[in-house]
Structure 1
Amino acid sequence: MPYVTDAGLSEAFKYVGSAVLSDVLDETGFPSQVIKSGLLALGSSEAFCGPAVCVQGGARPFLQTQVPAGFFQGPYELTNIDTCDSVLVLSAQGFTSGALLGDRIAGRLKQNGCLGFITDGYARDSQALAEIGLPVRAAGLTPVNGGKRWAIFEKSITVTLPAQAGGVVKIRPGDFVLADQDGVVIVPKEHAQDLISMAEEYKLKEERLKENDGAVNLSDLTSHLRWLRT
């Protein structure tokens, strides 16, 4: 039976896990949907999944606390974006000169119902993030305040993050983002129902193979992969 809500799909994706999901994506023509490994797990190491809310920004040209009204939208503006029951995906556009997430922003996002935060930028306040409990995946940590050095340029657009297979992964608003201990996988929203059906069947077949591990031929160990290709 198809899942009728985003929450139902999200729980199903967490159940099958990123490894199974990556295999299914590979075999169904989506070979570059995994974000490059190396992101730090901060805040909470628990798996999370939900539809993406996408934001992109970059370095701003001067370092001042006060700027003309409306001229820049710094990282604190993230807390005014509707992220309830969603995963906030922030493309830093190569910015590594300061942190784009700290305890105050994370606390507000958590209060707003955000399911998790993923960025190729940096974070700070790691101890406070652990207490807040918002699941975060970030490229690194720095004590430098990025709020004076970086601004939001665009919202609700397709963004890109580095891909494990090289190049980039495209993430569109509404695409499903699954993050667990193995990594971060992006599921195209229009294929989510079909992919979760295959992933659940794939996981079941894999579990049956494990149960019968001593009684199967080596050729049978890839039968669940061959099934995906038919």
Structure 2
Amino acid sequence: MTLTTPQKADLRQRYLEVDTANVADILDELGYTDYGLSSAFWPIRETQNKLAGWAYTVRGQMTPYPGTGDPAKMEAVAGLQPGDISVWSGGHAEGVCFFGELIARGMQHRGCAGSLIDGGIRDIEWIARMNFPVFTRYRTPVQSIGRWQVNAWQVPVYLPGATTARVTVRPGDFILADFDGAIVIPFELVEDVLERAEALTVKERSIREDLDKGLTLPEVLAKYGHV
């Protein structure tokens, strides 16, 4: 399946109108039961927008190296396209930051729609002011230079999962995250899952309206079935 740039933009906007909970339910129905990500991922601010977009993967690892920067990191993020989510696989890094305000600002100017980071970030106050959605695993002021280095990008990566130790994220898969958590939608399922999630969203809206009108929960479940 090949999608045009306008098609990808339309799908992304529609995903912003559905919740991760409904997407998770649809993936379960389709037999894709292990695509939720670990609850260790958290949004950097309480009023943050949803994170939704196409996975652009960046992989790195803890390794000592000389120098004052990581040229591979700059080369990696140069390929981001509008609507992409930069997905950082940290190689189980602990205690160091490999994402901060300046790199976030540069990615935002390229049209990047947010970041999902299996590792640490800093400059949180400044990133929060940018209206740039970020879900991360921890915070730290300690920089990555000389400690952690990018070793590949736009390759399949592992992220920690909710119901399994690792979830594979491929370039072009779809990432959706909100206050319930984060989930991966395989590229080949993006359209089918979205249509089903939209239908479920409409159904739930009707259920809320009926409950607000005074119907009991058993009456609503008899009318609509389990949701």
Q: Give TM-score, length-normalised by structure 1.
A: 0.85
CA distance in 2, matches of 1:154, 1:128: 27
- Write the deviation string for residues 133-180 of structure 1: whole angstroms up to 9, x where unpaired: 321111111110112211111111111111111321211111111121
Q: Unpaired runs of 5+ in structure 1?
A: 226-230
Report what 2:125 is aligned to.
Answer: 127
Are the aligned partners of 1:18 and 1:179 in contact in 2 as well (CA < 8 Å)? yes
Report what 2:44 is aligned to.
Answer: 42
In structure 2, the CA distance between the partners of 1:131 and 1:77, relative to structure 1 (3 Å rule), is: farther
In structure 2, the CA distance between the partners of 1:110 and 1:139, relative to structure 1 (3 Å rule), is: same
Q: 1:191 offset after TM fit, Å? A: 1.2
**Partner amino acid, structure 2, of 1:148:** G
Q: Secondary structure at the match of 1:90?
A: strand
> CA-atom RMSD, angstroms?
2.4
In structure 2, the CA distance between the partners of 1:31 and 1:112, relative to structure 1 (3 Å rule), is: same
Q: 1:212 offset after TM fit, Å? A: 2.7
- Alignment equivalent of 1:51, drawn from 34, 50, 54: 54
CA distance in 2, matches of 1:145, 1:66: 11
Are the aligned partners of 1:57 and 1:93 in contact in 2 as well (CA < 8 Å)? yes
Q: Secondary structure at the match of 2:16?
A: helix
Say if 2:106 is the partner of 1:108.
Answer: yes
- Alignment equivalent of 1:15, drawn from 14, 17, 30: 17
Residue identity over aligned pairs, in percent, reads: 27
Q: 1:74 offset after TM fit, Å? A: 4.9
Q: 1:116 offset after TM fit, Å? A: 0.5
Are the aligned partners of 1:57 and 1:150 in contact in 2 as well (CA < 8 Å)? yes
In structure 2, the CA distance between the partners of 1:203 and 1:133, relative to structure 1 (3 Å rule), is: closer
- Alignment equivalent of 1:182, drawn from 177, 180, 183: 180
Number of residue pairs the alignment of both structures matches:
219
**Partner amino acid, structure 2, of 1:57:** G
- Write the deviation string for residues 74-131 of structure 1: whole angstroms up to 9, x where unpaired: 5444432324320010100101131011111111111111100111100011111122
Are the aligned partners of 1:74 and 1:152 in contact in 2 as well (CA < 8 Å)? yes
**More off after superposition, 207-216 vs 87-96:** 207-216
Q: Give TM-score, length-normalised by structure 2.
A: 0.87
Report what 1:60 is aligned to.
Answer: 63
In structure 2, the CA distance between the partners of 1:66 and 1:16, relative to structure 1 (3 Å rule), is: closer
Report what 1:206 is aligned to.
Answer: 204
